[in-house]
Amino acid sequence: MFAYTYIEKGNFAMTDKPKPQLIDDNDAIVRVTLGSICTSDLHIKHGSVPRAVPGITIGHEMVGIVESIGKAVTKVKPGDRVTVNVETFCGECFFCKHGYVNNCTDPDGGWALGCRIDGGQAEFVRVPHADQGLNRIPDTVTDEQALFVGDILATGFWAARISDITPEDTVLIIGAGPTGICTLLCVMLKHPKRIVVCEKSPERIDFVKKHYPDVSVVQPSECKDFIMRCSEHGGADVVIEVAGADDTFRMAWECARPNATVTIVAMYDKPQILPLPDMYGKNLTFKTGGVDGCDCAEILSLIKKGEIDTTPLITHRYALREIEKAYHIFENKLNGVIKVAIYGERL
């Protein structure tokens, strides 16, 4: 089969690999019908993910059809349409039982697919711990509607959940890229008093204004002053940092009111400085880290009810054989791209 592969830093290439086989009784083989490119894939390409293993197939955003299952798998069966979770987790260790699945202690636990083991920018993918990592897609939900459930939508849902948003809050979201928009959709489910999105891209600003007219949008140069004017207690009650740019970490805590929650979703290319003397007395609560992606069933239910719709994010569509073109468009942010959909095929 064809598989888009991490060769070395700065180099991905399409290669020919054998179709994956069941290795463990908890495995499933999924035929990938639709995938996408994530900014985290670009982090691997740029060498910012040291644990990524050269030679692995890239990709962790995908949906597909179950081809075969190990004898211990009980929740899905061949023929089921499924989402694939970005996280691999056993469901049995201390962290899994507490909902902290990103830190599953299984050898394949955490972000494995498309990082430490073969992922889904291919015709087929092996999914370990399939009972945990696969969720059946309702018949009334399309592949495109479900595409982002296992990763960026799960990330947005998790970020909104851990931020403890109340109806009285002013919430600032920094970054209106794909994960930022998914975070916005999930914050909207909490019905806070005010939502402000900070973004510098004219195309993304226009996207937010078009699709979410009740949301305030501000550029980075104006963000702090705007937040101070529109909030009642010297800053935002909740700040969710999704951009991961050079100056957005500092912006996040500077725009937060005293005793606010600052949730860091972004993955940075370089270390960030935590200037404790500068923020002393603000008594901020920071919440950071990788998504605990264990809410996929609930998210699919919300999509089925029409309460979440991420399909406007898909601006470009390509076949698997065209994935090099898709990466060029996505990496260079050309033609107003937000997300690309990669349609699977047997080549």
Predicted confidence (pLDDT) per residue in 104-147, tens digit = 999 999 999 999 999 999 999 999 999 999 999 999 999 999 99
Average confidence (pLDDT) over 194-218 = 96
Model pLDDT for residues 21-60, shown as the tens digit of each residue: 999 999 999 999 999 999 889 989 998 888 999 999 999 9
- pLDDT more than 70, % of the chain: 99
What structural domains and CATH numbers belong to the chain? 2-151+292-343 (3.90.180.10), 155-288 (3.40.50.720)
> How many Cβ atoms sit within 10 Å of the Cβ of residue 307?
12
Q: Give the pLDDT score at 347.
A: 36
Max CA distance (Å), the chain = 60
The pLDDT confidence band at residue 291, using thresholds 50, 70 and 90, is: confident
Q: What is the pTM of this model?
A: 0.93
Q: Give the pLDDT score at 168.
A: 97
Model pLDDT for residues 303-318, shown as the tens digit of each residue: 999 999 999 999 999 9
Average confidence (pLDDT) over 79-103 = 95
Residue 326, CB half-sphere, CA atoms under 13 Å: how many?
Answer: 27
What would the two tokens of residue 133 be? Answer: 């990592």
Whole-number Å distance between alpha carbons of 249 and 139: 41
Q: Under a CB-based contact definition with an 8 Å cutoff, are residues 251 and 227 in contact?
A: no
The pLDDT confidence band at residue 293, using thresholds 50, 70 and 90, is: confident
The yes-or-no verdict on residue 210 having pLDDT over 50 is yes
What would the two tokens of residue 196 be? Answer: 């402000």
The pLDDT confidence band at residue 97, using thresholds 50, 70 and 90, is: very high
Whole-number Å distance between alpha carbons of 215 and 65: 37
The pLDDT confidence band at residue 268, using thresholds 50, 70 and 90, is: confident
Q: Residue 173: in which H helix or E strand, if any?
A: strand 170-174
What would the two tokens of residue 236 be? Answer: 């935002």
The pLDDT confidence band at residue 163, using thresholds 50, 70 and 90, is: very high
Q: Give the pLDDT score at 292.
A: 86
